Chains A and B, each alone.
Chain A
Amino acid sequence: MNLQIAMILGQDGVTNGAIYALLALSILLVFTVTRVLFIPLGEFVAFGALTMAAFQAGKAPALVWLLAGFAVAVAVADVLAAFRNSGRVRFSGAQTFRLAYPFVLGFALYRLPLAELPMSVQVLLTLALVVPLGPQIYRLFFQPIASAPVLILLIVSIAVHVAMVGLALLMFGPSGAKTTPFSEAGLELGPITLNSQTLWVIAVSVGLIVVLYQFFERSVYGKALRATAINRVGAQLMGISPVFAGKASFFLATLIATLSGVLIAPITTIYYDSGFIISLKGFIGSIIGGLVSYPVAALGAVLVGLLEAFSAFWASTYKEVIVFTLIIPFLLWRSLTVRHVEEEE
């Protein structure tokens, strides 16, 4: 092992670590606001990557039908809920928009020359297609049981994950996909050349973390989310809607995960079921942060990435073992040092 090898491994580790960090932050965000461990998060990484690849192949992915199906289900659920509450059927402008959105988008996708579009438009279309699924999933599966115990939320979360993986196979097929990189150029840094995609990943991750920090510190919506995370009942008493907080956190998490998928798609081959293992590593990061601390979670996730890169070099057969064993000392340390608080049920 010399400096050059260490630097290449470091670059590899930081690239993966940056993605894990983004996912760790998303998991943490959703968990603190809604108490849901968002296991289907990984699926959005895969959806983002595969949708991008489908666009570059000039095809509109079948995902648009899932979006449309969910939109119809959401509309039905909203109407039923309104009917149960007030005995009248009302359909607001926002609801009409939500129902019409996937159909308009789908129509546009089938008409546009997808493969010829500039990459930035493809990325935007990918986000426009995948991200609304997050709030829809919250509305359909988690909003009705928002006050259920954490364990039940976890079980539902696993169920949604399993269903989404099956649907992903149906929509995208079993073969993997890889997209073209954002740019071909590289950056010379001492003995190694930094891959341009690596720079993109790191830049976008750091950028997103800064934007998120500003959002939570400065904006009213960010503060509302933070308030819900700190004390759910208190926030509700202050007029913050838990439904809004839930949808907003799912929206943000899905956005980050989809963007992660778009970012790593040029680096590696993504299959319909690749997302889970990636988000699992982000999960280790958020566990290191004790499912409360954002900076520690991000650092922990980068640590996972680095550990993965170096253990792949030294003992490739045991790489996964080493990475996932990391969780045990941290759980021990956490359970020995942190004072236990009984959860308010």
Chain B
Amino acid sequence: MTVSQRPKAPAKAKYSLRDTLMSYAFLAPALILLALFTFYPLAYGSYLGFTEYGGARFGQGLPPKWIGLDNFRTLIADPLFLKSMVNSVKYLIIVPVLQLASLAVAVLVNKNLPGMAFFRAAYYVPVVTSISLAAVMWDWIYNKDGTLNWILTNAHLIAKDSTFGWLNNELTAFWAVMLVTFWRGFGYYMVLYLAGLQGIPEELEEAAVLDGANAWKRFWSITVPLMKPTILLCSLLSTIAALRVLEEVLVLTNGGPLNSTYTALMYVYSKAFQGFNFDYGLASAAGLVVAAVALLLSIINFRVFRDDTGGGK
């Protein structure tokens, strides 16, 4: 269907006052909850980014003190914050890899073959595995005497006396943690893609087969265009998740070695919630910087994966 063949949008429906009121009444509870738990914290957090709040002020019950851009100046001057931002942006490398892999596997498990339900469930298991359990397991894998080194030494890829702890090495820790993020996120995006794939009308595929299109051609001409909204959603979610990565880092490396895995959210967390020297003002300012980067990347995502087919309109 070309753009010119698109059916005309239906004339604007007229709603009665009762219908209108009813609609808003149904929306109101969700809106109130959003206002309380999302919009208000967002607005207040943004305000705190420009204040001094925490430490002794908090203990004495004093309100936040407006200090303008001072927190942002502190952030720029703090090498740990800059390093954490660089690490977080570097962490975005995972996004395309994660998306491609989960889309590819979603295509594979979308087949109606015997036992496919098992594979769909198996790939989803890491998503529901607790991070503490995952940490113990990956610690066994990455340890100096762990599974990964055992495999590599038995495959003669590294010498027995050259083994090292993958999470203890400045050059490998970052990638090792990223692999855990990949492992944890993969099943989640695969399920989203699977849902998207199952929403593609079978007739289109059948018509393409009759027209003699091979599998690759069908994938690029039918699947990918119709999956654009799902790709955009997954890409957005994984971009934001990559910028907000915290749990894996905390439990596996605590930001080390040499702060090579210290991420921006870890900086925010440590300033806001560790010890009694908490600095909500500085943490909020750092959070605002992360949010600004996330917003920028979201705009890029929208531009790249814009749904040109009209399906999303």
Q: Do A and B bind each other?
A: no
Chain A interface (Cβ < 8 Å from any Cβ of B): none
Chain B interface (Cβ < 8 Å from any Cβ of A): none
